[in-house]
Amino acid sequence: MTVADGFPALSLVGNETEHPSEAHDNLHTDDLGKGEDIDLSHGGYLENRELSYFKFNLRVLSQASNPEHPLLERLMFLLIFSSNLDEFFEIRVSGLKKRLQFDMQKPDPDGKYPEQILQQIHEQVRAALNEQYRILNEDLFPSLAAENIHFVKRQDWDGNLAKWAREYFDNEVLPVVSPLGLDPAHPFPRLVNKSLNFILSLEGKDAFGRESGLAIVPAPRSLPRLIKAPPEIAQEGDNFVFLSSIIHEYVGEFFPGMEVTACHQFRVTRNADLEMSNVEVEDVAAALQNKLHSRRFGAATKLEVDSGCPERLSGFLLDQFELARSELFELDGPVNLQRLVALFGKLDRPDLHFPKFSPGVPPSLANYRTDVFSAVDKEDQLLLHPFQSFLPVIQWVREAAKDPSVLSIKQTLYRTNESSELVEALAEAARNGKEVTVVIELRARFDEEENIHFASILQEAGAVVVYGVLGYKTHAKMLLFVRRENGRLKRYAHLGTGNYHRKNSLVYTDYSLLTAEETICADVHKVFQQITGMGKKILPKLLIHAPFRLRKALLKMIDTEKRAARDGKPAQIKAKMNSLTDPQIIKALYSASRAGVKIDLNVRGICCLRPGLPRISENIRVVSVVGRFLEHSRVYFFRNTRPQIYCSSADWMERNLSNRIEVCFPILNSKLAKRVKEELDMYLKDRVQSWEMQPDGEYKPAMMKRGGDTGVQEKLLEKLG
C-alpha cells in the first residue's frame, strides 16, 4: 500500500516538489516566530503559565456546582480538583520555591517574578479552597443526605454508632497507631507527603515525668479514611464515618492519665518532583529507584489544617515545615478530601452517575477479536477514544503475540494500567520467540515505580527493554509490527495521541491510527532505530518528530498560512491540544493573526497566548472544553498545507518540542481526514461544555445553561459510541 488518496510523500507546507525532511532541514527559522515587532516581554501579551494551569483547575471545580451533572459526578469533580491541586503544589509550586531558594530571580516570559507568582497563587488557592468547601458543606453534603447518603459527624452519633466506633477504634486503630510525644528525645517526626496527622496539646505528666505539652498522632495509612457503618446500627440509607472522626473522638486513649486540651488534623504537601542528573548515571532504573523514596519526604510546599486549629499550633507546624504564613490553608472540613474517592466503591447508585456507555467499534473492525491485520491491510483505521473502544489496539498486540507470521514487535510505553494486558501480550510474544523491543519511559511522573516493575516483567520474558534517551522523555505513542506475508516482510503501525492505558482510554479523549501505509510505517521504524540505537540523523518522510523538526515544521506551516493571507487567499489554522506555552509558536501565531489568518484553538489547560488583543491577536479565539471526559487529543489543521490534518503526541510547549521525543503524524486517508476535521469543528463550535478565554486571561463559559443543546462529548457519544 502506498500513500493514500493521492497525497505523495512530499512537502508538509504546500510545495509539492520539496521533500519534507529537506524542507525542515533547510528552513531558516531565525525569522519565523519573531512576530515582527511583537515583544513578548511586554507582560500584557502572555498569560503566566502557572496561573493559567490553576485557572484550568478552577474550571474543573466549577463542574462540582453544575446542576446538569449527576450528583456523584459533581462530587468526583470536587475530588479531582483536590488531586490536581496537590500535584500543582508538588510540582509547579515547588519549582517556583526552588527558584527562590537558589535566588533565581529571572522573570517568566510574562514578566512576573517567582515571588509575585507565588503570592498570586496563594491568594487564588485560598479563595478556591473556601469555595470548594462551601460547595461541599452547603450543596453536596445536603444533596447527598437527601439521597440517603450520610456522613455522620461525631456530635450526631447515637449510642449504637458510638459503641460501634469505639469498637472500631479499639480493634483497628489503637493496635497500629504510634503516638509521638514531643520532647528533646522525641523531636518532630518526618511525616510522609500528604499523610493525615493530628497535632495535640496535652496537660499533665506521663509515667516518666515528661510534660512537653505537644504530641503528634499519625493516622494509619493502612486504614480506610472513610468507613461504612453497619446498616443494622445506623439510620436508613448509606452511612459513613470519617476515620479522622473516630481518632479525634478517642484520641485521649493514646495518652492515659493526661488531658487532651486540643486536637486538630493537618496535612503537609511536599515537593514530589524527581530530579536526576544526566551526568554519571550508569543505570537509569537503579538511579530512579533510589530517588523514589525521597519523593515522600521532599521540601514542604503547603500546610493544611482544620479551620479550628489555634494559631499557636498552626504556627508551631509552620516552623517545623519551614513554611511561611501565606502557605497555611485552613479548611472547613476533612484535610485529606481526595480520599473521599473511596466512597464510589462503597455505593451502588447508578442513578447518581453519568449513564453508562459502550465504546463503539467501526464496522470495518467488527472482527477485531480475531483479525485486526486484515482490516488494517485493507484500509487505515481511526479510533477516537473513549467514544470508540481501545480494545482493538490491545487485541492487535495479543493477536500478534500468537501469530506465527509476526516476526517482531516494537512499542513505546509511557503510562499503562497497573495490570497491563499489553505488557502481558508483549511478554507472551517474547516467550514465543518474537523479537520484542519495548521503549519504557521510566520517568513518567508518578508512574516510575510501576514502569520499573513492567520493565522487569518484560526482561524476564526475553524482551529487549530500552529506557529511552537520557535527558529526553520518550513521550511518542508508537507500535510497530513486522509480519511475513506472501514471502515478503510487511510493516503495520499504531500511532496515538494518548497512552497505552486501557483505563485512561475510558476517560481520556485520544485518537488511534492503525495503518499499513508503507511510508508511515517506514518512518516509525526509523524513529525506533534512532531511540534504541545511535546515529546522527534520520529523515522521516511523513512523520514529524521532536526534538528535531516538529517546532520548525509548525513554524513553517504557520508561516505558510500567514503568506497565504497576505496574498489575499483564505488562510486558517485550527488546533486542539492540552497546553500552549512555547514563545516561538505564540509569536508566530500572533504574527499570522496580524496578517489576517483566522485561528481557532481548543486548549484544555495552560494557554500562555492571549486572544483578542487589539492589533495583536484579534483573529485568534481560544476555548477550553471541560466535561465528563478529560480532553487529551492533539489535532492540528492548516488550510494551505498538504496534508491538512495532523495528530500528535505533542502539545505546543517548550518541553514537548525541545526535551521530549514526540511524533506528529498526518491523516492521509481523505475520508478519515474529513472526519477528524469535522470532529475538531464540533469542539470549536461547542456552546455547552466550552469556556472562552478573554484578552485578560480569564475564562467565561460559552453558555451557562444547555438551552436544549447537548455538549460536544455527548454528541460524539451518540455518533460513535
- Convert the pLDDT of each residue in 27-47 to its tens digit: 333 444 444 567 776 667 899
Q: What's the pLDDT at 340?
A: 93
Is 57 inside a domain boundary? no
Same domain, 340 and 385: no
Where does residue 106 rank: exposed (0-12), middle (13-18), buried (19+ CB within 10 A)? Answer: exposed
Q: Which of 539, 594, 717, 570 is nearest to 644 (CA)?
A: 570
Same domain, 692 and 556: yes
For the stretch 325-354, pLDDT in tens is 999 999 999 998 988 999 999 999 999 999
Is 21 inside a domain boundary? no
Q: What is the CATH number of the domain that holds 433?
A: 3.30.870.10
Is 172 inside a domain boundary? yes
Is 6 inside a domain boundary? no
Instruction: Report the alpha-carbon distance of residue 376 to residue 243 in Å, rounded.
Output: 53
Q: What's the pLDDT at 32?
A: 43
Is 84 inside a domain boundary? no
H or E, element range at 82: helix 71-87
Residue 567 structural domain: 40-49+545-720
Q: What's the pLDDT at 280?
A: 40
Same domain, 560 and 656: yes
Same domain, 686 and 714: yes
Same domain, 336 and 390: no
Same domain, 407 and 332: no
Q: What's the pLDDT at 185?
A: 59
Q: What's the pLDDT at 282?
A: 45
For the stretch 641-673, pLDDT in tens is 999 999 999 999 999 999 999 999 999 999 999
For the stretch 490-547, pLDDT in tens is 999 999 999 998 899 999 999 999 999 999 999 999 999 999 987 777 889 999 999 9
Residue 79 has pLDDT above 80, yes or no: yes
Same domain, 226 and 282: yes
Mean pLDDT, residues 95-109: 81
Domain termination site, one of 494, 516, 541: 541
Same domain, 441 and 550: no
Catalytic residue among 475, 501, 525, 545: 475
Residue 453 bears catalytic tag: no
The residue behind cell 479551620 is: 307
Q: What's the pLDDT at 9?
A: 33
Mean pLDDT, residues 431-442: 91
Asked if residues 499 and 420 have their Cβ atoms less than 8 Å apart, the reply is: no
When pLDDT is cut at 50, 70 and 90, the band that residue 85 belongs to is: very high
The residue behind cell 456523584 is: 72
Same domain, 644 and 587: yes
The mean of the pLDDT values for the chain is 88
Domain termination site, one of 516, 541, 566: 541
Same domain, 334 and 367: no
Residue 365 has pLDDT above 70, yes or no: yes
Residue 463 has pLDDT above 80, yes or no: yes
Q: What's the pLDDT at 274?
A: 57
Same domain, 389 and 273: no
Residue 172 has pLDDT above 90, yes or no: yes
Q: Which three cell numbers stand for residue 348?
A: 451502588
Q: Work out how many domains the chain is built from and give that number.
A: 3
Instruction: Report the alpha-carbon distance of residue 571 to residue 679 in Å, rounded.
Output: 20
Is 224 inside a domain boundary? yes
Q: Which three cell numbers stand for residue 447?
A: 508512574
Q: What is the CATH number of the domain that holds 162?
A: 3.30.1840.10
Q: What's the pLDDT at 708?
A: 67
Query: Which residues, other chains included, contact 396 with Cβ-Cβ below 8 Å and sequence gap of 6+?
Result: 368, 372, 373, 376, 479, 481, 494, 514
Is 237 inside a domain boundary? yes
Is 99 inside a domain boundary? no
Same domain, 283 and 399: no
Residue 296 has pLDDT above 60, yes or no: no
Q: Which three cell numbers stand for residue 68?
A: 446538569
N-to-C CA span, the chain: 30
Of 417 and 122, more confident: 122
Q: What's the pLDDT at 18?
A: 33
Mean pLDDT, residues 203-221: 80
Domain termination site, one of 541, 570, 594: 541
